[in-house]
């Protein structure tokens, strides 16, 4: 099947990938746009994984306020000042801030969760399972399931993206690493909500 310029242009507009990459993806997918998009995403994710070890000393601190009731400040880092000033990178930082405002994560990734929080959750899950008369083998699976659910709820990178719940925030980040061509890291964030209690 011959790939037309219109197909390449359409795929390029949808994904932001290069002309040659779009042609190759369409050829691999035999003209199927959905399969071509999947091919480009997979290729981008593997490219992004290779960049994960690069240093990220540049970036932006994005500030977002939602209805004057929720405020977010997030630091997103990249490798170069050139990328830090680009519109695509700034838009990504804004999307992270907006998502944090809407989804209330507590940590950037699961490695940031204090062991004390995980231990407390383990004990709660164990106690409930034992009260329900579950066997030891099932108790361990229940604990593991509960910990995974907790991580999905409180870790920014594991949460479904508020604008597209078919991808996680980590996948959104990886797609942008692939598109921008640099390692990108969400370093830290803070979220405030009007009237919330101040922790002592």
One of 3.30.70.100, 3.30.479.20, 2.60.40.10, 3.40.50.300 is the CATH number of 58-105+159-193, namely 3.30.479.20
* pLDDT at 49 (0 to 100): 54
CATH architecture of 5-50: Orthogonal Bundle (1.10)
* pLDDT at 199 (0 to 100): 53
* pLDDT at 200 (0 to 100): 41
* Residues of the chain falling short of pLDDT 70: 1, 15-18, 44-54, 198-200
Residues 6+ apart with CB under 8 A from 175: 41, 44, 45, 48, 167
**Neighbour-count burial for 70-89, b at 16+ CB within 10 Å, e otherwise:** bbbbbbbbbbeeebbeeeeb
114-153 has CATH 1.10.286 classification: yes
């Amino acid at each position: 099947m011959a790939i037309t310029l219109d197909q390449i242009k359409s795929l390029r507009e949808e994904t932001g990938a290069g002309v040659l990459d779009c042609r190759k993806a369409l050829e691999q997918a035999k003209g199927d746009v959905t399969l071509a998009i999947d091919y480009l995403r997979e290729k981008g994710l593997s490219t992004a994984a290779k960049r994960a070890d690069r240093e990220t000393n540049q970036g932006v601190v994005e500030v977002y306020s939602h209805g004057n009731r929720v405020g977010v400040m997030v630091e997103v880092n990249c490798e170069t000042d050139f990328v830090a000033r680009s519109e695509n990178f700034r838009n990504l930082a804004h999307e992270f801030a907006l998502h944090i405002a809407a989804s209330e994560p507590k940590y950037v990734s699961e490695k940031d969760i204090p062991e004390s929080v995980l231990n407390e959750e383990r004990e709660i899950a164990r106690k409930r399972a034992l009260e329900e008369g579950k066997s030891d083998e099932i108790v361990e699976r229940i604990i593991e399931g509960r910990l995974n659910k907790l991580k999905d709820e409180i870790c920014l990178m594991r949460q479904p993206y508020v604008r597209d719940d078919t991808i996680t925030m980590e996948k959104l980040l990886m797609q942008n690493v692939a598109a921008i061509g640099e390692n990108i890291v969400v370093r830290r964030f803070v979220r405030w909500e009007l009237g919330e209690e101040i922790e002592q």
